[in-house]
Amino acid sequence: MAGDARRLIAKNVRKLRSMRGMTQEDLAAAADIDRSYISEIENERFSISVDQVEKLAVVFGVEIYEMFHPATAEKVIEADGP
């Protein structure tokens, strides 16, 4: 369905950023992306380019394809574990 990928990326960016204790400003600086753009991504207002997805995946330490998977944040939680 249209918008599913945007929704999944937004969810994963919010969750992964939160799990790492990062602010939008922290993430923006680490990924070399404008902070307002991070907000727009998280709020599903903008479609994100493949280049931007790659930058975020690198910062979060996940594979690019995992940014599109509904269970990515849960997998990261399990991997980081206690």
82 pLDDT higher than 90: no
Q: Within 13 Å and on the Cβ side, how many CA atoms surround 55?
A: 14
For residue 46, what are the domain limits? Answer: 4-80
B/e letters for 51-60, b = 16+ CB within 10 Å, e = fewer, are ebbebbbebb
| Angstrom distance (rounded) from CA 54 to CA 64 | 6
Which CATH number characterizes residue 27's domain?
A: 1.10.260.40
> How many domains, the chain?
1
Model pLDDT for residues 29-79, shown as the tens digit of each residue: 999 999 999 999 999 998 899 999 999 999 999 999 999 988 886 666 555
